Amino acid sequence: MKIGIGSDHNAFEMKTQLKEHIETLGIEVIDFGCFSPEEVDYPSIAFEVANGINDGKIERGILVCGTGIGMAMAANKVPGVRAAQCHDTYSAERAQLSNNAQIITMGSKVIGIEVAKKVVSEYLSVKFEGGNSARKIDQIMQKESEVAK
């Protein structure tokens, strides 16, 4: 599995620690930035990670900013991408199992690094298996294609 990770300046330190954590799980990580604590706008980073999903460069993504909200909003603007904000392990599990979210987002000003590591580990430990949830995801994607026309 190949994971993309990205952050804005508010979450640079958290992103750095999450990247190291994911690598200790034996998972390859591609870092989409930011690469310093210098101020940067998050939308371009969210778009790059989301495009990485669509291009097949990565299978899943982790995005962090101050709240996780902006990253989720930006990533969800990329057609075909489903990003879910998760600040607990249950939400992270359900983001994948129920919603087949390719990206999760978190806020560095909302949760601490140890909880963030647990959220990431849970998200990466499960795989979407379809079932009743597939029907619901299909409805969401159908609506997205209608809006795009």
Q: Express each pLDDT in 51-77 by its tens digit.
A: 999 999 999 999 999 999 999 999 999
- Mean pLDDT for 15-39 is 97
Give yes or no for residue 139 having a pLDDT over 70: yes
Decide if 65 is catalytic.
yes
Average pLDDT over residues 107-119: 98
What is residue 144's predicted lDDT score, i.e. its pLDDT? Answer: 87
Identify the pLDDT of residue 17: 98
pTM of model > 0.85: yes
> In this predicted structure, what is the pLDDT of residue 149?
67
Helix (H, G, I), strand (E, B) or coil at 110: coil
- Out of 29, 50, 65, 119, the active site residue is 65
pLDDT at 147: 78
Alpha helices, DSSP H only, in the chain?
Answer: 12-24, 43-55, 69-75, 89-97, 113-125, 132-148
